Structure 1
Amino acid sequence: MNEFFSSDRDFSEDVVKQQSMVVAQHNDLITKAKYDLTTNEIKVMDYIISKIKPDDEEFDTVHSSLYEISNVLGLKRSGRTYNQLTNTLRNLRQKEVIIYNEDTETATVTGWLQEFDVTRTGQVEAKISLKLAPYLLELKSKGHYTQHVLSDTIQLDSKYSIRLYKLMREADKNRGKIAPVIKHTPEELAVLMSAPKSYASWGRLNDKVIKPAIDEINLKIIDMDLELHTKKRGRKVVEVEIYNTFYPRKHSIKNPVPMTNWLNK
């Protein structure tokens, strides 16, 4: 299928500007949604969400290209990559995300994308599922949203690192005035991280999911320095606490940590 994109055109984009776009989501999409996406599927969806403007009242069709997406995500430009991205878009339309609304006692089940088109030259048109509108549109009026720059999730290699990163961003409700923390039982944390059932025990979950995610985040994310603490009942771990000890911290005027307010742009 590589020849399908053999006539790919050069759609030049300011990659740095694209990577600096903000991804904003309702907190329920981070803390209450159940889904199982690969690393690249999460990144492509974040890229599409970053195209939403704060004052959008409905989803516009996202116009892009396989060339642009691969450039922004730092992927090698090749026919194989473009085929993989096409499959990623297909998966985002087919894979379920389940969001439970406690107020209405209703579970919303939908795909991430409503539809998408890919032309022979690699042009992409995609539209987000209408069912996700309450979680991505008009967030200022709803409140309870989380934002991050696209470049943060782009540079993370593990889907578990991205999931934990988003949870820690959501936990930062005081914008760095106090140390953000998430507290969960090992079982709850496994669900939030979308870990396989084979990682049900805390020891395996920590070794395969939590510790590697913390290590990668601490290495790559400038304003996160995560520390793990556990509480035990006897020998059993009954609660897991993860703190971002980067905050609170006084920053020099010459090198402040940016705290962008997406809704005021």
Structure 2
Amino acid sequence: MNLEHHEVRVNNNVVTKSNILIDANYKLTITEQKIVLYLVSKIRKDDDDFKTYTLSIKQFYELLGYKGNPKYSEMKKITKNLIGKVVEIREEKKLKQMSWLSYVEYNESDGSVNLSFDPRLKPYLLQLKREFTSYKLKNVMELKSGYSIRIYEILKKWQSLKEVEIPLKELREMVGATDKYQEYHNFKKRVLTTSLKEIEEKTDISFFYHEIKKGKRVAAIHFTIHSKNNIIAQEADVITQKDDWFESLYVQLCVLYEKHNYKLTKDVVERWVGLANKVWGKNKYIEINKLAQQSFKIDNIKHHIAFITHILKEKVKCIENGTSHHQVSVETADKKVIRKEIIPSWLEVD
């Protein structure tokens, strides 16, 4: 098989799992996860039973991100460990424990490997009609962290609702981090922050999160999920087409700022829209107008144009850092008495 054609097929492969399996608890290495997900992507909608999947060891090796000639000893060790890994599924007040794979066979004569799923996984992978999650395999094959893969899957399940709150204890179990990073700041750094950056850079979604606390302890994580493709399309629309919404916003803002002796340019508003798009998406125009109106209710702002730019930049930083942008607002800035260092000296006016 031509490797280029194989890569095209892999990019078009779709992973489909029942939501019960998405929510299951298990701990797999990044390589083990990619093996499982590749096999899941080979299942077809009309399959009524698992097949034995055969693939070239060389292509299998490259698929997992390795370079050079395949090392059979290394591959055998990986699949041997995978057969021993358990997935825990909670369903109807029952806890089910089962393996991912039931059989692996290496054919050294023709350089291929056969793999079979554990038959007890059938209800969670075959003939799925409802309550399932699908995504393209290519979105996870480039990820370098197993935690990123699990966070991605969990967020894809909730993508249509755009948000989900998960108790921290449950999240640890779902991503396989019950015995690691016991201090929350380590979990945040190694799991949440790493996943946020990787998912933003390499997949079709992005997210930010904020911590839900009980007292001083973090009890849950609230995720907000965005479709990155939509954001990219919206940004392109903003910059190249300057649609009716943009023109309407620009006219309204010009009227507002002229009343206060400011001259507002389209370049500035375009910049605001680009930043606001990362925060509010399609609601960006309305939210910019709100910010501008609110800012003129505060007396001690030295330069209202620079102030709005600052607020928007800070909100974007919050999202990029995985925190809620709501902590940055005109009101909170007012309570902090608008520190002078917010506005560069060259923008201050008499």
Whether TM exceeds 0.5 here: the answer is yes
* Deviation larger for 52-61 or 82-91: 82-91
List per-residue Cα deviations over 1:103-133 (Å, max 9, x = no partner): xx33222211110110113211111110000
Q: Which runs of 5 or more structure 1 residues have no equivalent in the other structure?
A: 1-10, 256-265
Give, as a single letter, the amino acid of the residue that structure 2 aligns with 1:54: K
Q: Which runs of 5 or more structure 2 residues have no equivalent in the other structure?
A: 237-350
* Structure 2 residue 86 is the aligned partner of structure 1 residue 96: yes
* Structure 2 residue 70 is the aligned partner of structure 1 residue 85: no
Q: CA deviation at 1:189?
A: 1.5
Which residue of 13, 22, 30 corresponds with 2:22?
Answer: 30
Larger fraction in strand: 1
* Structure 2 residue 100 is the aligned partner of structure 1 residue 112: yes
**How much is the aligned-residue C-alpha RMSD, in angstroms?**
2.3
Which residue of 149, 157, 161 corresponds with 2:148?
Answer: 161
Greater relative contact order (CA < 8 Å, ≥ 6 in sequence): 1
Assess if the C-alpha contact under 8 Å between 1:108 and 1:131 holds in 2: no
Q: CA deviation at 1:73?
A: 3.3
SS for the counterpart of 1:79 is coil
Assess if the C-alpha contact under 8 Å between 1:167 and 1:182 holds in 2: no
Larger fraction in helix: 2
Distance (Å, rounded) in 2 between the aligned partners of 1:144 and 1:101: 13
SS for the counterpart of 2:123 is helix
SS for the counterpart of 1:34 is coil
Distance (Å, rounded) in 2 between the aligned partners of 1:214 and 1:167: 13
The match for 1:7 is none
* Deviation larger for 40-49 or 202-211: 202-211
Distance (Å, rounded) in 2 between the aligned partners of 1:194 and 1:20: 28
Q: Under a length normalisation based on structure 2, what TM-score does the superposition of the two structures give?
A: 0.62
Assess if the C-alpha contact under 8 Å between 2:20 and 2:89 holds in 1: yes
Distance (Å, rounded) in 1 between the aligned partners of 2:85 and 2:158: 27
- Number of aligned residue pairs: 233
The match for 2:45 is 54
Q: CA deviation at 1:250?
A: 7.1
Q: Which has the larger radius of gyration?
A: 2
1:1-265 aligned within 5 A? 11-13=1-3, 14=5, 15-31=7-23, 33-80=24-71, 82-102=72-92, 105-120=93-108, 121-140=110-129, 143-172=130-159, 174=160, 180-221=162-203, 223-246=204-227, 249=230, 252=233
List per-residue Cα deviations over 1:133-185 (Å, max 9, x = no partner): 00000002xx111111111110000000001000011112x3xxx5x222122
